[in-house]
Each structure stands twice: as structure tokens, then as C-alpha cells.
Amino acid sequence: MDYGSDRVLPVQPQERRRPGRMVSAGVTCRLGEVVDISATGMRIRHKGMGWFKTGVVVNLTLETPEARLPVSATIRWIKKVRAAVYEIGLEFLPLEPEQLDGLWELAFSANRFLSGTQLKYVRRPR
């Protein structure tokens, strides 16, 4: 098939997230349940009214029964899942090395009681 030299073929989009992400069962914050988390951001499931908007910077404390970690993040996207349930994509503001270590410790501690089939860990960034 000849498309000619003046035509541009579509390029498949690639995964924009470079670090691996991990399901984070048991991690919560004031916006709701953390669905998954990576070194650059997280996805949260929020139940209730949607007061938030993209571009807003929020200060949050990620919590498990055993640990707490304060972070700041920018709301990058919002998706309505169903009535009064939203998924929110947040990008962390630059994290200090000790915050990044704390982030992974928090995610691992929240998941330590899950079986291998429930734990969806991709890879820890280096």
C-alpha cells in the first residue's frame, strides 16, 4: 500500500508513565482510596461530590494503619466512573529521596498481606 511521501501515518501512543506502578490496597488520603501509585503520581477513587478541578495543587497525607506520609500533588485528570464516584489522577510535586523511599515503604506495607495473585507490582524505579 502506497501512502505517498506527503502522508503521515499515525503513531501508537506509548505509556507515558516511566516508573512502575503498584496497586495500593489499604492506602487512603482525604480524597479517598488510593487505587495505584508510582514514583511520579497516583490514582485515587473518590466517593462523593466532585469539588476538585484539574491543575489544583493539593497537600495530602497518605495513610495506612501503620504509616503516614505527607505529599503534595497536582490534579492532572478527573474521570467520572459512575454517580458520585470519580477517579482522580495526581502527579506528585518533586519528592525528596526520603519521601520516595517512604512512598514505596507505605505501598509495600499496605500490600504485605495480599496474596501473589492480588499484588500487582510492576517494578520499583531506580
Q: Dump the DSSP string for 17-85.
A: --S-EEE-TT-EETTEEEEEEESSEEEEEEES-----TT-EEEEEEE-SS-EEEEEEEEEEEEEEETTE
pLDDT of 112: 59
Of residues 117 and 94, more confidently modeled: 94
pLDDT level of residue 119 (50, 70, 90 thresholds): very low
Beta bridge partner(s), residue 11:
none
Residue 115 or residue 78, greater confidence: 78
Residues 6+ apart with CB under 8 A from 80: 50, 86
59-103 pLDDT, tens per residue?
A: 999 998 888 999 999 999 999 999 999 999 999 999 999 998 888
Sequence-ordered list of residues with C-beta below 8 angstroms from that of 49, at least 6 positions apart, any chain: 84
